[in-house]
Amino acid sequence: MRLQFILSEIGQGLRRNLSMTVSVVLVTFVSLTFVGSAALLQLQIGKMKDDWYDKVEVSVFLCPQNSSEPTCAGGEVSDEQRADIRAALDSPEIGPFVEHVYEETKEQAFASFQEQFADQFWASAATVDDMNSSYRIKLTDPQKYEVVADVVSGRPGVEEVQDQRRLFDKLFLVLNRATLLAGGLAAVMLLAAVLLITTTIRLSALSRRRETGIMKLVGASTIFIQLPFMLEGAIAATVGALLAVGGLWLGVEYLVTDWLGASVGWIPYVSTADVLTVAPALVAVAILLAAISSLVTLSRYTKV
């Protein structure tokens, strides 16, 4: 009997404030979509770091013929300089941080250049002598780049030491800023959702002030009187959260997996399984916001 009464009160409340309830659903949907997007962006960054950081190399580019670097004042790297650089890479000082060293000749670099830029008209003007020979170093720990760079940088015959991780860090910086933007928008929209839930519950409670007063007089407990209002807000917020989960699932399935995955297949993308991982947190946030809004509203604006 009590359950039937509570359900009927919830139905009446949702019907009486239908437009406000729809507004709560939509605002919750938009705000939690931003929250979920920010979470998925962080998961995407984590996947890319795990996959790419283990593959990055340190490239030690040796002096070509016409370099303006002070370490290349003697012209193209000599055999003695090349041997000195290789000895430094094999030294006990950095040996524990080096997994393997691969030497790329000018001819190999030119072949790779021609393969990569075969469709560019200006690539035909390059020659073998324009290329750098180099040492490509695979580290046991990509975080130890500075140890290797300090040993080989500035040596005669070394034009530049480049860490591929720095190239990736620029991309991760952009993605992190996108995460912050999505988080900021989510915070604003969540605030709007809280205010709408508060207003909806307040209007619902005031419209049924006579009924709640009678219930109080006949001995109904405070929680029994407040429960329908609390559930109204929780239901609206939960529907919005489920819509957000559905929107994120569709976005990842069709935009990320089908479209981006087919176009750029070498990036480890987030999947719909990651959306389902984030989903419980989104629903929990929605219910928590509704519960807090309900408690604050009923304690301040109603006399039940």
Q: Please report the pLDDT score of residue 1 as a whole number.
A: 41
Predicted confidence at residue 304, as pLDDT, reads 45
Are 109 and 134 spatial neighbours (Cβ–Cβ below 8 Å)? Answer: yes
| Distance between CA atoms of residues 225 and 105, nearest Å | 81
The token duo for 162 is 């480049």
Residue with tokens 């219910």: 287
Q: Mean pLDDT, consecutive 10-residue segments, the chain of 304 residues?
A: 49 58 81 87 81 73 84 84 85 81 83 74 72 83 75 85 73 78 80 76 62 53 58 80 92 86 76 91 87 69 48
Q: Given this model, what pLDDT does residue 17 score? A: 60
Q: What are the residue boundaries of the structural domains of the chain, listed by start?
A: 2-52+169-301, 57-164
Helix (H) or strand (E) holding 135: strand 134-139
Cα 165 from Cα 169, distance rounded (Å): 6
Q: Are 272 and 257 in contact (CB under 8 A)?
A: yes
E strand or H helix at 21, and its extent? helix 18-52
Q: How far is CA 255 from CA 36, 62, 218, 269, in A?
A: 15, 43, 57, 11
DSSP state of 258: I
3-state SS assignment for residue 57: strand
Bridge partners, 136 (sequence order): 59, 102
CATH topology of domain 57-164: Alpha-Beta Plaits (3.30.70)
Please give the pLDDT value at position 5.
44
Give the pLDDT score at 262.
77
Question: How far is residue 43's CA from residue 56's CA, in Å, rounded to a whole number?
Answer: 20
Amino acid at 263: S
